Structure 1
Amino acid sequence: MTPPPIPFVRDFTPLYGQAERLTPRIRRVLANNPGPFTFAGTGTFLIGDGASVAVLDPGPADDAHLEALLAAVAGETVTHVLVTHGHADHLPLARPLAEAVGAPVLAHPALSPDQALTDGDRLTGDGWTLEVVATPGHAPEHLGFALLEENTLFSGDHVMGWSTSVVSPPEGDMDAYIDSLDRVMTAGFDTLWPTHGGPVTDPLPFLTALKAHRLGRDAQVLEALARGPSSPLAMVPALYAAVDGRLWPAAAQSLLAHLIRLERRGDVMASEAPSATTVYQLRG
């Protein structure tokens, strides 16, 4: 059975270097780092105005983006610099920004922040409350941030509207990723704001299709192995024929994540350590 198509959100007009008002409590400054993994670029979110502003996912090491962020918060008090996870398009600017504005960096303990965050922690400012939602899978330290006043989730790279997320072992874990999807589905958010691209404004159908896609990929991998042993890299051309070839190495890593999940379940086996070239076969 073919999973329902994911209703991707790709209608997005980039506005670089300026603070764009999105909701009464949310602004976004977009870094000019478009690419096959970042879509139009890294969207740094500013939550709140004036007396207490949280900056979420400061972005890549980019002097122009730092200048744009500082211009956007000029005359305001930045109280928190938040990071969803440690990838190079999210974390590097956190420390330079924090030092420039005199605010602490807050993130998962694995990132050695000034203040470590754990699931369920709450951060408050003038007119806003953020609750930490642990969403490992894309990265083990991945955190989402729920803006309670708007019933919205800043979903980082766990859920992106424009594409599926890469789950790349050893730090990426498909079981954890799917568990995190279930958690976000159950929470019933009205809107998801990914770090890349536009919002997901009808989350439940989107998340349902996203989960079905991942489970469908499990089934495709098992069907491929029913035809004979194979490796993640060898499966990519057939299973990702419609995907940009630049993404095939990352696709092989996601297939590896599926195979590790299937090996845990006892469905497949391999004779060597997991890698994109490891040959897997059906068990039994």
Structure 2
Amino acid sequence: MTTPYETGEVTWINDLIRLVLAPNPSPMTFWGTNTYLLGRGEVTVVDPGPSDPAHTKSILSALEAGERITRIFLTHSHLDHSAGVPALVTATGAQVLAYGDSLAGRRDDTAALEGLGGGEGRDRQFAPDVVLKDDQIIEGDNWSATAIWTPGHMGNHLCFGIGEDLLSGDHIMGWATSMVSPPDGDLTDFMASLEKLMGRQFTRLLPAHGAPVADAEGRLQELHTHRKTREGQILSAVHDTPGTAQEFAQRIYTETPAALIPAATRNVLAHLIDLSRRGLVTTEGHLTETSIFSGK
């Protein structure tokens, strides 16, 4: 798929929202991180992206005459979203708003588990100036955004509803499903967050990676169905032969490139933890990333 955006250039999504694509393409970030700018005059930036002087300069260059950046919203504190925050704050003095630091919002039972691995891309230095609450409304100049707490991909993940658009961060993307890697990510929470967003009447999704998704409700249903299908495949594999998350990933993700099997393994582990909570699989001893899971 050809990117509709040019790296570092401004793309207007509508009269309120503009986008600047960061220069950090990868198998996990697709074309790169979408940095959004909201409003006119006093501008809010959503996800400043990676620590990259050229990208920070592109964000500042996206401002029109007389405009200034006064706030920064963060969907979550993975480095491809948050590492650019300090440079942008230094340049603008903007206030940073998020759900919390990188450990905020994690489930106590998952966070307490040792030996789970994970922590990929976690910004250990991040801390917001203002902690946002679920369903909190933030007023702009002739616009408002609703912060919606959507843990799953990461415990402190927020989506932002602006009219009929949902800035969906990494929770919902059109080009791929989100990685859910414990203990920062949690599949039980991820599914609950999908269900929370269903029926909220959003028309379009504006994800942090990839192109806009025109059918918001359809994509939510599609992702929910996909996860349920994957759950069925994992349960079948567990009942067939006990094994580790990695072994199940290799059995199930047969068309996935070898380089992406580690990411698939993290998703499978998240499913297995969820299934264990629900009493559908079992494992002996302390749960780790190499635990052997069996059917019940």
Q: Same fold (TM over 0.5)?
A: yes
Residue pair 1:20, 1:27 contacting (<8 A) in 2 also: yes
Deviation, 1:203, is 1.4
Residue pair 1:44, 1:57 contacting (<8 A) in 2 also: yes
Task: Classify the secondary structure of the residue corresponding to 1:207.
Answer: helix
Counterpart of 1:80? 71
Establish whether residue 261 from structure 1 lines up as the match of residue 251 from structure 2: no
Counterpart of 1:115? 130
Separation (CA, whole Å) in 2 of partners of 1:88 and 1:124: 27
Counterpart of 2:121? none
Alignment map for 1:113-192 (pairs within 5 Å): 113-148=128-163, 151-192=164-205
Aligned mate of 2:22, from 31, 35, 56: 31
**Residue deviations 1:225-274 (CA, integer Å, cap 9, x gap):** 11121111011122111223221101101100000000001011111333
Alignment map for 1:42-57 (pairs within 5 Å): 42-49=33-40, 51-57=41-47
Name the CA shift for 1:268/1:119 in 2 (closer, same or farther; >3 Å): same
Establish whether residue 69 from structure 1 lines up as the match of residue 59 from structure 2: yes
Deviation, 1:62, is 0.6
Separation (CA, whole Å) in 2 of partners of 1:169 and 1:258: 10
Counterpart of 1:236? 249
Residue pair 2:24, 2:33 contacting (<8 A) in 1 also: yes
Counterpart of 1:97? 88
Matched positions, count: 271
Residue pair 1:256, 1:275 contacting (<8 A) in 2 also: no
Separation (CA, whole Å) in 2 of partners of 1:276 and 1:241: 20
Task: Classify the secondary structure of the residue corresponding to 1:44.
Answer: strand
Separation (CA, whole Å) in 2 of partners of 1:216 and 1:122: 35
Separation (CA, whole Å) in 2 of partners of 1:238 and 1:263: 20
Aligned mate of 2:237, from 214, 224, 231: 224
| Unaligned residue ranges in structure 2 (runs of 5+) | 102-125
Deviation, 1:11, is 5.3
Give the partner amino acid of 1:94: V
Give the partner amino acid of 2:44: A
Deviation, 1:54, is 0.8
Residue pair 2:5, 2:11 contacting (<8 A) in 1 also: no
Residue pair 1:252, 1:276 contacting (<8 A) in 2 also: no
**Residue deviations 1:102-154 (CA, integer Å, cap 9, x gap):** 21011112242111111111112222111100000000000011112xx1110
Residue pair 2:99, 2:149 contacting (<8 A) in 1 also: no
| Unaligned residue ranges in structure 1 (runs of 5+) | 1-9
Give the partner amino acid of 1:44: T
Counterpart of 2:213? 200
CA RMSD of aligned residues (A): 1.3
Counterpart of 2:224? 211
Give the partner amino acid of 1:143: L
Task: Classify the secondary structure of the residue corresponding to 2:282.
Answer: strand
**Residue deviations 1:67-119 (CA, integer Å, cap 9, x gap):** 11111125312121111101010001112102211210111122421111111
Please, what TM-score do these two structures have when normalized by structure 2? 0.88
Task: Classify the secondary structure of the residue corresponding to 2:291.
Answer: coil
Task: Classify the secondary structure of the residue corresponding to 1:89.
Answer: helix
**Residue deviations 1:161-180 (CA, integer Å, cap 9, x gap):** 11000000011110100000
